[in-house]
Amino acid sequence: MQFCKRSLGVKKCTQNDFVYGELGRCPMRNYRMYNIVKYWTKIILCDNKRYIKIVYNMLCEDILDGNVKLFLMSVKQRLKNQFLQNCCSPLDNSSRAGFYKHFAVFMFQPYLDT
């Protein structure tokens, strides 16, 4: 977050939601969770005799149906949606975000490339 705020040239006390919105980024927590799920799918696809495969066998039906990519895309989208819901609520209730929330769109802002 410090890097993002420095990149935008805003104060340290600027709300994180503003920074995420301007950069069109999600918290690193979302990327970590996605990578965990991605690794988990690798475990599921390993040899059936491995103990870890046996432990996660309850999800084999989804994996064996060929839905790994669909499953990962779904997880990624759900994490992003959850973040957006958690992000928008404080913005709606914030007195500091009165102007920002009416014009902001969650995406990397084109003016940042110039």
DSSP per-residue string spanning 30-44: HHHHHHHHHHHHHHH
Q: What global pTM score does this model have?
A: 0.47
Q: What per-residue confidence (pLDDT) applies to 3? A: 93
Note the pLDDT of residue 8. 94
* Tens place of pLDDT per residue across the chain (114 aa): 999 999 999 999 998 988 998 999 888 889 999 999 998 888 878 888 887 777 677 666 666 677 778 888 888 998 888 888 887 777 777 788 778 777 777 788 888 888
Question: How far is CA 63 from each of CA 34, 51, 54, 56, 104, rounded to the nearest angstrom?
Answer: 16, 17, 14, 11, 38
pLDDT of residue 63: 64
pLDDT at residue 98 in the model? 77
